[in-house]
Amino acid sequence: MGADDTKLEDLVRWREGLVSGEIFVDPGIHRQETERVFPRAWNYLVHESQLRQPGDFVTTFIGADPVLVARQRDGSIAAMLNSCRHRGMAVCRADAGHSRAFTCPFHGWTYDEAGRLINVPNLENGYRGQLDTGAWGLTPVPRVEGYKGLVFATFSPDAPSLVDYLGEMAWYLDCLLDRREGGTEVTGGVHKIRMHGNWKLIAEQFAGDNYHAGITHASAASALAPVTADPAGATDPISADPVPTGRAMRFTTAMARPGRQFSHRQGHGVAGFFTSDKALTGGLRQMARDQAVVADYYEATDVEVTNRLGAERAKGPSGTAGLVFPTFIYLAGVFGASTIGVAHPVGPEHFELWRWCLVDAAAPPEVKAAMVRCHAVWPLGLADADDGENWSAVQAALQGPMARRQLFNYQMGMGLAGPDPVYPGTVSPEPIGEEPQRAFYRRWLEYMTSPDSWPEVVAD
Ligand code: FES
Ligand SMILES: [Fe+2]
């Protein structure tokens, strides 16, 4: 099956909350995504703290395209295809490092950190001086912009600025990025996991699936709770709700607390946040020592953060998950750590999840170290295994032609989203629902059915 526009509109009927399994397995659809979605959208590249000095670099991807990102002599950040102009070889095969020159391992063409071709073996006797080296630099990614430490890039000349693309999503991202003077940094290295599953499964989850957390992660979350037996009449340490039966129920009851979801026409979403109290610190204090260190830090910085971000953002929107379309994900302050990540598609059936622990730059070293250890437990050690199991089982089921032709139900909370007196943008009145997923697939369809240019957002 190809990816003709009519067919795609039959497969993604977002108005009715219906999405076909075909979009998660079809190679033609995936190929079209690599042409129409990733090169045009703003894709997450790197956190600025990973590129402190000129010559610091990382290698990453924009969709299927390999990209080299480097700090320049003037302090700016440039991105270019990590693909030699001679035969396409990756000129840099390291994940990250520091270098002023990148020598292609195939025939030795050498580029500087700006992508200029600075050395060609046999230039005189082979090319007889006929090669215009100025014309054969690495292909630049033309637009690179940052938002509070996060660096994104697009190949599209028509895309709006990054800030306009983020829109109200920036208000929610600030809960993560702008808690304290000095912003944030990533620490503890990168963690890369190859997942069996289509990239949209994780994207839609971080955009809108708070629903799964109380079920999928129930046992993992309960493993982090105090190890004492629940006395009769015990309450959930996070929600203060009565615990009906044992520890495994605590996370589930916590999910029933009041909250909201946010969705954005550019396809971004905040999967759900709670509005009733400061959920995290109360629960954390009863967990392991590292989480108690983090809880003390949250408490010590509470007034400062409240003054900076306002009362609403100092409590509700933290402790949540979000997506910047198409593949930047985050989890803010859950079980002691905040994580940022990106899901790189690897064909239609797999993606690579890259994650970093994000900390306030101004946090004391012992707090940062505690957060890195919390991050190793959640999400890396527990949540990713739970979610990866789901995605893999979904992907396996969709190998069946009858299974993948089914239309799946994305109808929760239809018609409920709208303006909110406190939270900006399109907001749903519950912390669970599927408005952000519908918005994600609506936007995906607009990219996929726009053959030639940036897909403008049309008014409803
Ligand atoms: S492919 Fe890079 S020098 Fe030939
Ligand atoms: Fe999850």
pLDDT digits (tens, 9 = 90+) for 151-183: 999 999 999 999 999 999 999 999 999 999 999
In this prediction, what percent of the chain has a pLDDT beyond 90?
78
pTM of the full structure: 0.94
**Contacts of residue 201, Cβ cutoff 8 Å, sequence gap at least 6:** 24, 390, 391, 394, 395
Whether 84 lines ligand 1, by a CB cut-off of 6 Å, is yes
pLDDT at 2: 46
The two beta strands, 259-263 and 269-274, are antiparallel
Computed over every residue of the chain, the mean pLDDT equals 91
Closest ligand (CA of 90): 1
Nearest CA to ligand 1 atom 4: 107
What is the SS3 assignment for 408? strand
Distance 216 CA to ligand 2 centre (A): 7
Distance 140 CA to ligand 2 centre (A): 36
pLDDT at 312: 84
Distance 196 CA to ligand 2 centre (A): 15
Q: Which residue has the tokens 């629902």?
A: 433
Whether 123 lines ligand 1, by a CB cut-off of 6 Å, is no
Exposure string for 5-38, b = 16+ CB within 10 A, e = fewer: eebbeebbbbeebbbbbbbbbbeebbebbeebbb
pLDDT at 18: 98
pLDDT at 227: 45
pLDDT at 250: 56
Whether 308 lines ligand 1, by a CB cut-off of 6 Å, is no
CA distance 206 to 80: 28
CA distance 368 to 187: 8
Count, residues in the chain: 460
Whether 107 lines ligand 1, by a CB cut-off of 6 Å, is yes
Which parts of the chain sit beneath pLDDT 50? 1-2, 227-229, 245-248
The domains of the chain, with CATH numbers, are 43-147 (2.102.10.10), 168-448 (3.90.380.10)
Whether 121 lines ligand 1, by a CB cut-off of 6 Å, is no
pLDDT at 251: 59
Atom of ligand 1 nearest to the CA of 104: 2
pLDDT at 26: 97
User: In sequence order, which ranges of 12-161 are alpha helices (DSSP H)?
Assistant: 27-36
pLDDT in tens, 93-143: 999 999 999 999 999 999 999 999 999 999 999 999 899 999 999 999 999
CA distance 183 to 397: 43
User: Which of 81, 89, 110, 119 has most ligand 1 atoms within 8 Å of CB, for mutation?
Assistant: 89
